[in-house]
Each structure stands twice: as C-alpha cells, then as structure tokens.
Amino acid sequence: MPLHDDLKIPVSEEELSRRRFLGGLVGGALTVAGVGTGVVTLEYLEPNVLFEVETRFKLGRPDDFAVGQVTFLPARKLYLVRSAEGFVAMSAVCTHLGCMTQWESAAGAIFCPCHGSRFSREGKVTGGPAPRPLPRLALALEGGQLVVDTRQVVADDFVLKV
C-alpha cells in the first residue's frame, strides 16, 4: 500500500476557514491567559501594604474644652468629657452589639439608637441591654496637648487631672 502525502492534497475553502477560526480561537485563548498571567505577576510584585487608622492622636489643649462639656468625635469613635475633676476619654461604641452611640445634650446622657441602651455622661449603664459601661481610654497630657490612645483601656475610675 503506497503512502500518500496529505500536504500535497489541495484544501477546500471551507476547511481553510475552519482552520483559521480554530487558530484564531486558540490564539485568543493564549493571549487572554498571557495577559492574565502578566496582571497577576505585576500585582504580586507590587507591595500589598495595609494602612491602619492611627490609634494614638492629639485632641487639643485642655483650655479648648469647657468644664461640663462632652465632645463627640465620630471619626475617632470616642467621647471626651471634661468634668470638675478632670478629663475622661471613652469609647463611643455600645457594649451591647457594637453600635455607634450618640450624645443627647438635652437629656445629658449617651444613648444607643439601635437597641435603646443608655449611659450616663461618665459612661455607666443607666438603662437598656448593654452589659457593661463604655470603656475608658488611656488619656495623657503631653506637651500641653491631650493625647488619647484607643488601644489602651483603663480602669472605670480613671480621670486625667489637669
């Protein structure tokens, strides 16, 4: 049986268009895979840095806050309370389910609009489902400025005397 050379047989136009289509399909798939590999490689080479919110920051000078004033800082999630004894910094996050509390100046109290917990201006629970008082945060006087550290929780009776 003699061997026939298939390359010498003429290819029909239909066969040629099918081959071009399949060749284009394979070329497109390889291009997409190459581009995807390049993108993943570039993302791998770029540093993946996590920028966290600063936990230690200045609040201002003690003279900026009047005696009896409660200052709510929503961006920092804290209250700064000045009483006759001194300053107290408290978390504004409710101890019940972590909702953001609000200062109600007419009632002179802090309340949670989500579940109805109520706190005194010192952070003690006065009503509602909250199991604990609002945590007090470390507060210090450095260079004439009040500095709070939100990572450090201090005792419930801590007051910065100025």
Using CB atoms within 10 Å of the CB of residue 137, give its burial: 0 to 12 exposed, 13 to 18 middle, 19+ buried.
buried
Give the model's pLDDT for residue 1.
61
* Token pair of 10 as six digits: 């003429």
pTM value is 0.66
Those residues whose C-beta lies under 8 Å from the C-beta of residue 127, and which sit 6 or more positions away, are 116, 117, 118
Report the C-alpha dihedral over residues 138, 142, 144, 149, rounded to 10 degrees: -30
pLDDT in tens, the chain (162 residues): 667 667 677 777 887 788 889 999 999 999 999 999 999 999 999 888 877 778 888 888 988 888 988 999 888 899 999 988 999 999 999 998 888 998 888 888 898 988 889 999 888 999 889 899 999 999 999 988 999 998 888 998 888 887
Residue 159 carries which side chain, given as an amino acid letter? V
Query: CB pairs under 8 A, 24+ apart, for 122-127?
Result: 122/81, 122/88, 123/79, 123/88, 123/90, 123/156, 124/156, 125/95
Give the model's pLDDT for residue 114.
87
Residues 124, 118: Cα–Cα separation, whole Å: 8
